[in-house]
């Protein structure tokens, strides 16, 4: 399941209903004490209630008459089928447990006036309202059979709750629906539904910034706990089979015991039934890390402990890439820059961004440090600010209109400023194109010093006109129109009607030294040599890349077809297809490009387009 949205009501300083949307990478940016950590901790309470537990002080203090805290999460990419009974499958859609737009929306309601706070759990769903069908989820099988019989409804399998419910709904169709709350954790049948939904919930891993160096320092133990929990999830089917086998043997013993009891007192025996009161706790395995002298890692400095955290993230990213589809996991990292050298800060954010691009992974982080936020894509930013110093609001930058309104405040808050040393503005289509020119120019510079490296070059600002980072957005905002030379390179995309053709023609018509070009090939990935791509991805291919071939899609499809996935490429949902293609595109521009050299570039680009552009840019930078 993928987390799409969080809704907070009456939680700490979030007094009024506040919605926060999430993408694969989400960065909560704002000043200290403005409510960023509360978002991460609300999610911890919702998913785990362990590292941070709900307590009586979590109800908003300025709303004293209301002790009810509401935390709602909305999900997409949930399983298409669930087994709610022992033998029959159904689905959330079939059971009318989704919203009108097809999302799974779960509300957990906490009464903080009580000494023991246990949530009421609801599905917020577009549910039938007629009395004959509104309460079906709460009915036991005997009640479902009676309702079917009373309405003369024939059911193919009257031993299945799901089949009975479906037959009744079909009988009373069409059904009028409206959004309502379906309580999931009080009665036996709805409890079983919630247990199934809960088993598919993402693993939520919260890494907080403030740590005490105790024996069970969570900064150290949490990565290992997450490793154990992920391993348990991975072996879920084996453990389920083992549990059922133990259950079968134990219940058999219990039933035989009750059978013998009947010989002594049939009345007492008739009242007894074997039952397991709790599920086994598989996550109780304890894993820790010590050095060669047996000293636990929590006794080392905070910087070292954070490096362990970075290493855990890097290992997790590599493992996810190697293994493909796994259970969904959300990494929530508070202030990852704490106790770290700037070089490690950059490595950590790059690693977290890489994890967010893996399938079934999301990353949420908080920061108020300009150096870290520079690298974060604009559309991943959520600006958190207390309105009138009372209650926080969370502003999104998910589209251009929102970005224009909100990013000025982010820039003002964090002090993001353009670099005055910039001589040339290099406009490209997206962040992958930035990586292409930075990495390729660096490689070519190693062989030909006349070609200047554009990586970390303060004289050039490479600005994506599509999705950009906060730093690039600020530079684009402030540097355009201040008499800097502009150099534009855009993809042709297809042989006919290139989308940037009019833009290129308009720039070249300025006659002021600004230049613009369209690629002769489909896009920049078509200039990466097939040998570099094959070596990076382990692909076997001898024929060169065609000019209009969709290279990222070819790589993604080839890798998928070589995997053990039970689904063909054409069976994948569009969002998963897009993510696989996006991941391939990024690796081509970050990894495959590192295998390029001057000879390979001239072979893949016989017209010297790329070299020609780099020579022109280098000439401008030398002026």
Mean pLDDT, consecutive 10-residue segments, the chain of 623 residues?
A: 95 94 91 89 94 92 90 91 71 91 96 93 94 88 90 83 89 91 79 83 80 44 62 66 71 63 63 59 57 52 60 64 66 75 69 80 83 72 83 82 72 69 86 92 94 90 74 66 84 84 90 91 96 95 93 95 87 85 92 95 96 94 86
**pLDDT for residue 451:** 94
pLDDT at 216 (0 to 100):
47
User: Which of 399, 316, 398 shows the shortest CA–CA distance to 359?
Assistant: 316
Q: Is 621 helix (H, G, I), strand (E, B) or coil?
A: helix
Helix axes 141-150, 161-171, angle to 10 degrees: 30
Q: What is the pLDDT of residue 215?
A: 42
Evaluate whether 435 touches 442 at the Cβ level (below 8 Å).
no
CA distance 384 to 402: 14
- Output the pLDDT for position 279: 63
Phi/psi for 186 (5° steps) reads -120, -40
The reported pLDDT for the residue numbered 4 is 95
In this structure, how many other beta carbons lie within 10 angstroms of the beta carbon of residue 145?
Answer: 17
How do 381-387 and 25-29 pair as beta strands? parallel
SS3 307: helix
List the one residue out of 349, 373, 397, 404 whose CA is nearest residue 470: 373
Reference 306, options 163, 207, 386; nearest CA is 207
- Using alpha carbons, select from 43, 41, 45, 40 the residue that is nearest to residue 27: 40
* Cα angle 409-414-417, degrees, rounded to a multiple of 5: 90
What pLDDT shows up at residue 213? 38
- Name the helix (H) or strand (E) containing 430: none
- DSSP H helices, 324-469, are 342-356, 370-373, 400-414, 431-447
List the structure tokens of 92: 């959330």
d(CA 397, CA 586): 22
């Amino acid at each position: 399941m993928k987390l799409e949205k969080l809704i907070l009501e009456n939680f700490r300083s979030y007094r009024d209903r506040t919605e926060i949307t999430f993408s694969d990478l989400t960065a909560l940016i704002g000043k200290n004490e403005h409510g960023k950590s509360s978002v991460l901790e609300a999610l911890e309470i919702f998913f785990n209630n362990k590292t941070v537990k709900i307590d009586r002080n979590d109800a908003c203090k300025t709303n004293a008459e209301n002790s009810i805290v509401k935390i709602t999460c909305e999900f997409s990419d949930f399983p298409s089928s669930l087994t709610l009974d022992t033998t029959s499958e159904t689905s959330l859609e079939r059971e009318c447990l989704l919203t009108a737009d097809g999302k799974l929306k779960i509300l957990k309601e906490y009464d903080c006036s009580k000494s023991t706070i246990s949530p009421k759990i609801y599905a917020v769903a577009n549910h039938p309202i007629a009395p004959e069908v509104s309460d079906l989820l709460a009915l036991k099988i005997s009640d479902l059979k009676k309702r079917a019989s009373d309405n003369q409804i024939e059911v193919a399998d009257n031993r299945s709750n799901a089949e009975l419910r479906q037959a009744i709904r079909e009988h009373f169709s069409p059904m009028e629906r409206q959004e309502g709350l379906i309580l999931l954790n009080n009665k036996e049948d709805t409890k079983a539904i919630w247990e199934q939904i809960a088993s598919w919930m993402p693993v939520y891993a919260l890494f907080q910034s403030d740590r005490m160096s105790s024996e069970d320092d969570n900064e150290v133990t949490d990565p290992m706990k997450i490793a154990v929990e992920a391993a348990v999830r991975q072996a879920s089917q084996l453990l389920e089979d083992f549990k059922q086998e133990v259950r079968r043997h134990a219940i058999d013993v219990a039933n035989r015991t009750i059978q013998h009891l009947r010989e002594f007192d049939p009345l007492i025996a008739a009242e007894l039934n074997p039952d397991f009161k709790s599920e086994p706790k598989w996550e109780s395995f304890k894993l820790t890390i010590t050095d060669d002298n047996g000293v636990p890692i929590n006794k080392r400095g905070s910087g070292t402990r954070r490096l362990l955290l970075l290493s855990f993230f890097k290992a997790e990213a590599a493992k996810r890439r190697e293994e493909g589809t796994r259970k969904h996991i959300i990494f929530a990292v508070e202030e990852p820059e704490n106790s770290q050298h700037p070089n490690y800060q950059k490595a950590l954010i790059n690693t977290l961004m890489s994890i967010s691009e893996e399938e079934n992974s999301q990353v949420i982080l908080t920061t108020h440090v300009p150096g870290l936020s520079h690298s974060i894509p604009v559309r991943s930013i959520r600006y958190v600010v207390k309105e009138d110093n009372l209650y926080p609001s969370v502003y999104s930058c998910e589209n251009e209109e929102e970005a224009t309104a909100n990013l000025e405040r982010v820039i003002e808050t964090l002090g993001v400023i353009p670099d005055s040393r910039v001589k040339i503005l290099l406009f490209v289509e997206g962040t992958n194109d930035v990586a292409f020119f930075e990495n390729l120019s660096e490689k070519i510079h190693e062989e030909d010093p006349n070609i200047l490296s554009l990586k970390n070059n303060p004289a050039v600002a490479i600005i994506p006109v599509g999705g950009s980072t906060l730093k690039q957005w600020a530079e684009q905002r402030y540097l355009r129109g201040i008499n800097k030379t502009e150099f534009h390179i855009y993809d042709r995309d297809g042989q006919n009607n290139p989308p940037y053709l009019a833009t290129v023609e308009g720039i070249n018509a300025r006659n002021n030294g600004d230049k613009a070009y369209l690629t002769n090939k489909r896009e920049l990935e078509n200039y990466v040599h097939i040998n570099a791509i094959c070596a990076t991805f382990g692909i076997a291919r001898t024929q060169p890349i065609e000019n209009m071939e969709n290279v990222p899609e070819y790589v993604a499809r080839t890798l998928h077809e070589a995997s053990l996935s039970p689904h063909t490429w054409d069976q994948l949902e569009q969002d998963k297809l897009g993510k696989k293609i996006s991941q391939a595109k990024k690796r081509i521009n970050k990894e495959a490009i590192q295998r390029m050299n001057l000879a390979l570039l001239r072979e893949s680009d016989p017209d010297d387009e790329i070299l020609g552009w780099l020579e022109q840019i280098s000439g401008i930078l030398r002026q």
